Amino acid sequence: MRITTLLAWSLAALPGFFALPLVASEHCERVDGIVSICGLAAPEDLVPAPNGRDLIFGQMAGSGGLYLLDTRDDSVHPLLAVQEADAPRELWGDPACVQPTSRLEAHGLDIRRRADGRWQVLVVNHAERESVEFYELQAPTSDRPQARWRGCAEAPAAANFNDVAGLADGSLLVTHMADRRWQLVNALLAALGRNTGFVYHWSRDDGFTPLSATRAAHPNGILLAPDEQSFFLNVYLGNALQHHALPGGALLGAVAVPKPDNASWAKDGQLLVASHEGSLWEIFRSLSQGHERPSELPFSILSIDPVTLSQSTLLQRSGPPLGAGTVALQRGDDLYIGSYVGDRIIRLPLPEPQRP
């Protein structure tokens, strides 16, 4: 999730704005059996590494960048390889994009095996340009893989990207939340039910093409089905998870979910969806607080059947050690949760689903 600091400050100045309690950054002890992995800056999204053990995350604040979390000891390691002085010989993105940015402000992530067998990591980036950055994950099954830059697809004018999903043919889907020139107005309109964004399909031949059937109120997370015949879209301010067909994006089904952020695949084939439960004012306050400490915005992790869209609750949290959970990723018997704000990822044993 991302709404600009200007937007958060503007709403924070409104009368009657709710303040959230915050946890001091030095508080990194175990709480309710939950382990905190601290010293980070807004680790908004997590994806599984191909070695079957570790996870990859980006930072949306601080020094930015891409990192590997070794689940054997919760150690964190830089993922980006040293870049070539010249443009790489092979580019996977727009042929006109020939140089990486000097800084990566990583938002949504995706990892997928391309048709030629190589592993690709896609990153929504907000530093220096609004773009999707392409990386090849080299030595993908090793203890310390590295990501080498393979190009970018720079956003259309006024686009405001959030999350991305790559297809094996090298094309991708990316969510556009709302015109970034009018984010305050559009956030309020979306909260009132106005469709402010949609999903783009991008390919090297055709560039960015809007999928008109995906217009919705502040689209957020996107997750491709394993067979690449459909995708799941989290409509944040529309309070819904939608299932759309490919290639055109026709709506196949939907289920009500309070402010859904990102989604991932659980080992049992269920969707794990992070859902925010605070008011709109509490969310804006959380966005404006800084990243030295975690928010306490209430959130849930839901397990959703991708066929029936029936749901159960895995986790509900309010208070330390983390709020505003944006993504949950299963690795082994543990669940890792990141956030768009704060200084940590948390780890806990995978909870049992609680049916309504």
pLDDT digits (tens, 9 = 90+) for 313-344: 999 998 899 999 999 999 999 999 999 999 99
pLDDT at 13: 32
173 vs 92: CA distance, rounded Å: 15
Give the distance, in angstroms, between the CA of residue 122 and the centroid of all CA atoms in the same chain.
11
pLDDT at 83: 65
Asked if the bond preceding 321 is cis, omega within 30° of 0, the reply is: yes
- 9 band by pLDDT with thresholds 50, 70 and 90: very low
| Mean residue pLDDT across the chain | 89
Using alpha carbons only, what angle is made at residue 44 by residues 38 and 46, rounded to the nearest 5 degrees? 85
- 140 band by pLDDT with thresholds 50, 70 and 90: very high
pLDDT digits (tens, 9 = 90+) for 173-191: 999 998 877 666 667 766 7
Candidates 167, 168, 132, 171; CA nearest to 149 is 132
> Can you read off the two tokens belonging to residue 42?
């807004």
Give the distance, in angstroms, between the CA of residue 108 and the centroid of all CA atoms in the same chain.
3
pLDDT digits (tens, 9 = 90+) for 263-298: 999 999 999 999 998 777 777 777 767 777 788 899
Candidates 218, 199, 219; CA nearest to 209 is 199
Using alpha carbons only, what angle is made at residue 153 by residues 148 and 158, rounded to the nearest 5 degrees? 135
pLDDT at 356: 62
Candidates 283, 332, 296; CA nearest to 3 is 283
Q: Which of 213 and 2 is assigned the larger pLDDT?
A: 213
> Can you read off the two tokens belonging to residue 66?
């891409």
Residue 23 has pLDDT above 90, yes or no: no
pLDDT at 58: 97
pLDDT at 292: 75
Candidates 229, 228, 243; CA nearest to 307 is 243
pLDDT at 24: 42
pLDDT at 86: 59
pLDDT at 290: 73
133 vs 150: CA distance, rounded Å: 8
Residue 4 has pLDDT above 70, yes or no: no
The three state secondary structure string of the chain is: CCCCHHHHHHHHCCCCCCCCCCCCCCCCCCECCEEEEECCCCCCCEEECCCCCCEEEECCCCCCCEEEEECCCCEEEECECCCCCCCCCCCCCCCCCCCCCCCCCEEEEEEEECCCCCEEEEEEECCCCCEEEEEEEECCCCCCCEEEEEEEEECCCCCCEEEEEECCCCCEEEEECCCHHHHHHHHHHHHCCCCCEEEEEEECCCEEEEEEEEEECCEEEEEECCCCCEEEEEECCCCEEEEEECCCCCEEEEEECCCEEEEEECCCCCEEEEEECCCHHHHHHHHCCCCCCCCCCCEEEEEECCCCCCEEEEEEECCCCCCCEEEEEEECCEEEEEECCCCEEEEEECCCCECC
- 5 band by pLDDT with thresholds 50, 70 and 90: very low
- 89 band by pLDDT with thresholds 50, 70 and 90: confident
- 11 band by pLDDT with thresholds 50, 70 and 90: very low
